[in-house]
Amino acid sequence: MTMPAAVSRPGPSGRLAARLLIGLAVVLTIGFIVVPVAVIFAQAFARGFGPYLASVTERDTLRAIGLTVLVAIIAVPVNVLFGLAAAWAITKFEFPGKKFLLTAIELPFSISPIVAGVAYILVYGSNGLLGPFLEANDLRIMFALPGIVLVTMFVTSPFVVRELVPLMQVQGSDQEEVAATLGASGLQIFWRVTLPNIRWALFYGVVLCTARAIGEFGAVSVVSGHVRGETNTLPLQVELLYHDYNAAGAFAAASTLTLIALATLALRAVIEQRLPRTGRVGH
Amino acid sequence: MSIDIQGLVRQFGDVQVLRGIDLSIPRGELLALLGASGSGKTTLLRILAGLDWPNAGSIHVDGQDWLALDAQRRRAGFVFQHYALFPHLTVADNVAFGLTVLPRRIRPPAAEIARKVSALLELVQMGEYGRRFPSQLSGGQRQRVALARALAIDPEVLLLDEPFGALDAAIRKDLRSWLRTLHRKLGTTTIFVTHDQDEAFEIADRIVVFGQGRIEQAGTPDDLYERPASPFVARFLGGVNEIAAELRQGRFRVAGADAAGLERQVGGDGDVTLFVRPHEIDLAPGPDGEAVIEAVVPGSVSMRYAVRLPGQDVPVDVEIPREIARGRQLAAGARVRVRLLRGRIFGQAARNTTLAEQSLAASAL
Q: Indicate the pTM of the whole model.
A: 0.77
Whether residue A181 and residue B50 make contact (CB cut-off 8 A), yes or no, is: yes
Minimum Cα–Cα distance from B147: chain A residue: A178
CATH code, A266? 1.10.3720.10
- Per the domain annotation, does A196 fall within a domain? yes
Query: Residues of chain B with pLDDT > 90: what percent?
Result: 63
Better-predicted residue by pLDDT, B153 or A270: B153
Interface of B with A (CB under 8 A): 49-51, 70-78, 80, 82, 84-88, 97-98, 101-102, 146, 149-150, 152-153
CA angle, corner B142, sides to B137 and B148, nearest 5? 130
Is residue B351 scored above 80 in pLDDT? no
- Per the domain annotation, does A7 fall within a domain? no
Cβ(B195)–Cβ(B364) below 8 Å = yes
A128 lies in the same domain as A188: yes
pLDDT (0 to 100) of residue B354: 37
Q: What share of chain B is helix, strand, coil (3-state, %, to 5)?
A: 30, 30, 35
pLDDT tens-digit series, residues A125-162:
888 888 888 888 888 888 889 999 999 999 999 999 99
pLDDT tier for residue B287 given thresholds of 50, 70 and 90: confident
User: Cα(B253)–Cα(B268) distance, rounded to whole angstroms?
Assistant: 14
The 3-state secondary structure of B116-151, one letter per residue: HHHHHHHHCCCHHHCCCCHHHCCHHHHHHHHHHHHH
CA distances from B265 to B167, B226, B280, B340 (A): 46, 17, 18, 15
A119 lies in the same domain as A39: no
pLDDT tens-digit series, residues B214-248:
999 999 998 998 889 999 998 888 778 999 998 88
What chain B holds in terms of domains, given with CATH numbers, is: 3-231 (3.40.50.300), 241-364 (2.40.50.140)
Domain extent, residue A21, equals 13-44
Is residue A192 scored above 60 in pLDDT? yes
Is residue A113 classed as helix, strand or coil in its secondary structure?
A: helix
- Per the domain annotation, does A4 fall within a domain? no
Residue of B270, B291, B275, B268 lying closest to B243 (CA atoms): B275
Which of A174, A182, A202 to probe by mutation at the B interface, max B CB count within 10 Å? A182
Cβ(B145)–Cβ(B125) below 8 Å = no
In chain B, the N- to C-terminal Cα span, in Å, equals 35
A96 lies in the same domain as A186: yes
Cβ(B288)–Cβ(B279) below 8 Å = no
- Per the domain annotation, does A26 fall within a domain? yes
pLDDT tens-digit series, residues B41-51:
999 999 999 99
A126 lies in the same domain as A228: yes
- pLDDT averaged over every residue in chain B: 89
A154 lies in the same domain as A262: yes
A125 lies in the same domain as A37: no
- Per the domain annotation, does A76 fall within a domain? yes
A36 lies in the same domain as A108: no
Is residue A77 scored above 50 in pLDDT? yes
Q: Say which residues have a Cβ less than 8 Å from residue B354's Cβ, sequence separation at least 6.
A: none
Cβ(A121)–Cβ(A105) below 8 Å = no
Looking at the structure of chain A, the number of domains it has is 2
- B24 forms beta bridges with B4
A231 lies in the same domain as A270: yes
Is residue A280 scored above 70 in pLDDT? no
pLDDT (0 to 100) of residue A9: 64
A24 lies in the same domain as A118: no
- pLDDT averaged over every residue in chain A: 86
- Per the domain annotation, does A8 fall within a domain? no
Chain A residues in contact with B88 (beta carbon < 8 A): 196-197
Instruction: Sort strands B241-248 and B251-253 into parallel, antiparallel or unpaired.
Output: antiparallel
A26 lies in the same domain as A165: no
- Per the domain annotation, does A144 fall within a domain? yes
CA angle, corner B283, sides to B363 and B229, nearest 5? 40
CA distance A181 to chain B (A): 5
Cβ(A101)–Cβ(A95) below 8 Å = no
A38 lies in the same domain as A176: no
Is residue A279 scored above 50 in pLDDT? no
* Mean pLDDT for the stretch of residues A245-257: 86
A173 lies in the same domain as A217: yes
The kind and range of the H/E element at B362 are: helix B355-364
- Per the domain annotation, does A267 fall within a domain? yes
